[in-house]
Amino acid sequence: MLSYQEADFYLDHMEKEEAEDIKQLLAYPEGTAGSLMTTEVIRIRTTDTIAEVLDWLRRCLTNVETIYYLYVTDERDMLLGVVSLRDFLISSPERSVHEMMNPHLVTIEPDAPQADVLDIIKEVWPSGCSGSNGGQSVSRDRDF
């Protein structure tokens, strides 16, 4: 673990935006949902078409590491729903984001304990939790 002095040194030598993201995450106590969050998400609007968002993604994806979901927000950046990247990519380009977004959101407060996050994941996404027995996968997913 870094000392406060070491952390400040590294933060001072990072790009400003990246340092701000890290400072935001460090503000949450260890062991909370907030300390696990990502600060880089892709926000889209309900009025966007698939073609418009795809064009934007092609130009801007160089700065994003991992994408699983696109987050649908209104003009005030209030979360309205999500679209899985998989569903998005196989959808008709003329379709609107509004038509395909899932408005049924599962959220958790940033100060919630990490154990609560795990409980929610197990409850709403059981297929995403695979186990192992001595290192061998015991999940029931198909091989491709």
Rounded CA gap, 73 and 38, in Å?
17
Q: What is the pLDDT of residues 31-87, one digit of tens each?
A: 898 888 877 788 899 999 999 999 988 887 776 677 888 999 999 989 999 999 899
Q: Which amino acid is at 127?
A: S
- With H, G, I as helix, E, B as strand and everything else as coil, classify residue 80: strand
Q: Which of 59, 126, 48 is nearest to 91 (CA)?
A: 48
Strands, E assignment, 15-65:
43-44
Using the predicted structure, report yes or no on whether residue 20 has a pLDDT greater than 50. Answer: yes
| Closest listed residue to residue 71, CA positions, set 92, 91, 94, 48 | 48
pLDDT at residue 101 greater than cutoff 90: yes
Instruction: Enumerate domains of the chain plus CATH numbers.
Output: 38-103 (3.10.580.10)
Residue 126 pLDDT grade (very low, low, confident, very high; cuts 50, 70, 90): low
Give the SS3 label for residue 34.
Answer: helix
